[in-house]
Structures are given as C-alpha cells and as structure tokens.
Structure 1
Amino acid sequence: MLLMDNSIITPPSFLITAMSVLSLVSLVFLGCSEIMGKHLKYSKFWNVNNSGKSQVKLSSRTGMLIFYTPAVLAGLASFWIFPHQGFRFLLLTSALTFHFFKRDFEVLFIHKYSGGVILDSAILIGALYFAATAMMIYFQHLSEGLPEPRIDLKYVGMVVFLLGISGNFYHHYLLSKMREDGEKQYKIPKGGLFDRIVCPHYLFEILTFWGIFLISQNLYALCCALGVSFYLMGRSYATRKWYLSKFENFPQDVKAVFPYVF
C-alpha cells in the first residue's frame, strides 16, 4: 500500500522506512552528542576530547574535501545511472549535486582555515553525506511513476533551496572576510545574521535540506531534513558555548541558530 497524504509520497518499501528511521536516529544522536560535548572533530572542535590515542590529523581543506566530494560524485553519477527520469527527479539530483559542488567550491576558494580535521570524523561525515545523497536519489527513482502528491511542493522547495544555499554562501563569505591572509585566530563574527545568531550558515544549511525535502516530497528526504536540523542545532549550541568560553565580550543576546529563540 502506498504511503501518501497531501504532501508525502513513498513507495511501499521496508528498506526506505528502515533507512529513513536509521538516518533520523543517527543524526539526532550526533546532535545530542554535540550538546553533551562529544563533538565530531573538525573546525573549532578538531582537538577536543583527546583520549590520548594516536589520531591522524588532516588539513581542514583536505578533510572537508573528503566531507563533500563523494556526494558530488554520487550526484553526477546519477545523471548517467538514471537517465530519462521525471522533472521532480531531475530537480532533486540537480539540487543535491549543486549543493555539494558549492561546498567543494567554498572549501577550495572561499574558506580560510585555522584548525584541522581528524581523519575518523572526515570519513564518517563523508560517508553520511554520500549515503544520504545516494539513497535520496535512489529512493526518488523508486518513486518514479507513482501518483504525484495532491499538494505539489517542488516549486516551493526550489525557492526554499535557493534561499538556503544563497544565505549559506553569503555567511561563509562573511566568515572568510574576518581574517586577513595568514591569520589563524578566531574572532566574533559580524554582519548579516551574525548579529542575531552565532551560526547563520547552519540556519541556511537547514533551509537547504528542507528545500530538498520539499522538492522530493519523499519520506527519506523528510527524515534527512529533520536529522540535519537536529544535528546542526546541537552543533550550533556547542559553537555558541565555545564562543562564550573564549570571548568575555561575546553578546549574551546572540542565540545559537534561530534568532530570539535558540
């Protein structure tokens, strides 16, 4: 029996349901771990919770390319593996591919780095992004030919996606302009929504994934959007706590990821 209401349509598949729940639970767990101080080791938190065991440190640029490049390749491969699909499928694969290609572009040409990435975290994050991208595309392929949702949200999704990806890029650009070439120290971010929240780039990343869900209108994409939201909320909370610990003059009214709320 088809799982369908006004906005979500998913083929009857135990695999889709199981992977959707697993992805959501995994990302919620990672978000809770961030709040509790058990961080994925990149950016500001690359050297926290050092247990004394030997760990392989990568440059931030190399580590972040490991984050995003497998997902880019999965997106590009999908155009060859699944040709002649419907318009919704084309929008989804294009959005996913462009999103991760943009992240690689920022890694190479926009970001300025001061920390590093631990290899274990790079592999985990890269695997999660790759798996999420590949499964979203594959599950959307399985949905081809099924009746469309009664409320078609793919064009709304494109608007939300473009807003998210534009806001994310803009705030990454502001972060890059905080440091002169060769500078390593952290500063309190200014400009854009940084005057209201410490992680506006995460807020717009959340919007990007909700845009991808609205394009797809698929159960797995919904669980990914929820999971990414929980994880980035946890990471934002930890980042705000870090800024408060490092800067005595950090504004108390600046929230973590949602202005005036959290």
Structure 2
Amino acid sequence: MKTKTNVFLDFNNTQFDGHLHNSVMSFIEEYKDNNIAGLAKDQLMRELMAKDPLTPESKLAVQQALMDSKKKSNKTFDFFDAKGLNEFVKKSKDQYVDVIVLTASSFPNAIKAVYELKGLTHLKDISMISVPIQYGVAVMAESKSAEIQQYEREQRLRIKGLDTVHNIFVDDTKINIDVFKKSSNPATNIGILVTRGINLKQLNGEVDKTLTHLGKIRKSRRQSEIDPVYENVNPRKRNENQDTEGGFLWKTIQKMLRMFILR
C-alpha cells in the first residue's frame, strides 16, 4: 500500500501580497515594442504565457510591472514569507511531497520570474497549473477543484499500487475552498483558507499528519514482514512436545522387548 501527499498553493494574495496577474496585464496593455530594448510586445506575451522560455528582458518587464503596481496600491507586491516558503518547499521535496502552484492566471511564467527575482531557489522548477481567469469566480473555483482531482487521477495511473492520496489546498478565496471541500472526501482532503498569507506552521503540521499516517503503514508492514506468524503455536513448546513424545515411544518399545525376552 502506497500513500502520497500533494500540496496545492494559490499564488495571488496567498503566497504573494498582491495580484501578479493584474499587475502584468496592466503593464502589457501599456507596453510598446522595445520599451525594453530588444523585447517586442508579442514576444513578452509569449514568454509570460510559457509559450517561450523566459529571457532576462521579460524578467525585467515583470520587475517593472511590480514596481508600477506598488506605487498605486497599499500592497507590498512581495512574498508574505519568502524564506519560510522556500524552506517549506525544500522540506517537502525531501519528504517526497508534491507542491504545486494552482493559480487563476494566463501568465505562469510571470510567477516563475518572481521566484527567480526573489531568490526562491527551491521553487524555480515547481509544478504549476493555471486555470482560466476570465469566466468568473464560480467557474474558477470549479476549475481549481477539477484540476486537483485530475492531478490525483493522473498520479494514480503513474504510481503503481498507490492507495491513499492526501490533497491539501491553500487559497485566499472562500468559494475556492468551499467548492473543493464540497467535492472532496474530508478524510483525505484538507482545505485551508488564508487571509494574510500562508500560515506555514499550520501547513507543516497538516503535511506532517499525512506523513505520520504513512509512517504507521510502513512500520506495520515491516513488522509483519519480520515477525513470522505461527497461528498461536509457540515453536519452542512444539519442539519440547515432540521430544517428549519421542522419549515415551522409545521407552514403550524397550519395555515390550524386555517382556518378549523374559518369555
């Protein structure tokens, strides 16, 4: 029996204090070819939408977009806890826990650019799932829940013998968490609503609970493999009984022989 733990993290207003997608969208709307030397608007779009690899020029564009947004908002447009998030992802990788960014955005590479700009080295190759942003909050909530279910289905096909999958979903929007909980088995699926960034202590605790469950399964299996089952028979007593029975039989034979000789 195998068990797997997945952690799905929203990005905007969950990991990051601000809405990166909106910031980038506003920047692109005003952008003209070569505002950043050598970077056409079409190329910037392709790179941020992950159709082409990120270049230093597109990373610079993301940085400028954040600076522009910060001037117009009371948001920091920075991570709530960059160091803690980086450490959490490293620890999760070491424990074979999958961490996935699940975001409503058309610009997944903008998120990767911010990870690089802020030095979050353990998130540079993190898995990322984007859901459509233009269809309204209810549809986005359903889409996020569906993506989690799809990830689990594909995981079960990929990992032979996978029995239990624990999904932990962290998001700042109540409807997203509500829809996820409504469509999931509460025994193996946990939704965490956050208002001012991820509570990493709480998240680590929830992950550890799933891994403790896995540890108990493995310990139980190892014990059953090491200890033979004798069906309530003590092998030492069994051997002693065999010796006693053998001695009684030999004494009986000796007695019959003596009686035969005396005749």
TM tier, smaller:
under 0.3
TM-score (norm: length of structure 2): 0.24
**What TM-score do you get using the length of structure 1 for normalisation?**
0.24
* Greater fraction strand: 2
Structure showing the higher helix proportion among its residues? 1
Instruction: With a CA cutoff of 8 Å and minimum separation of 6, indicate the structure with the bigger relative contact order.
Output: 1
Greater Rg by CA: 2
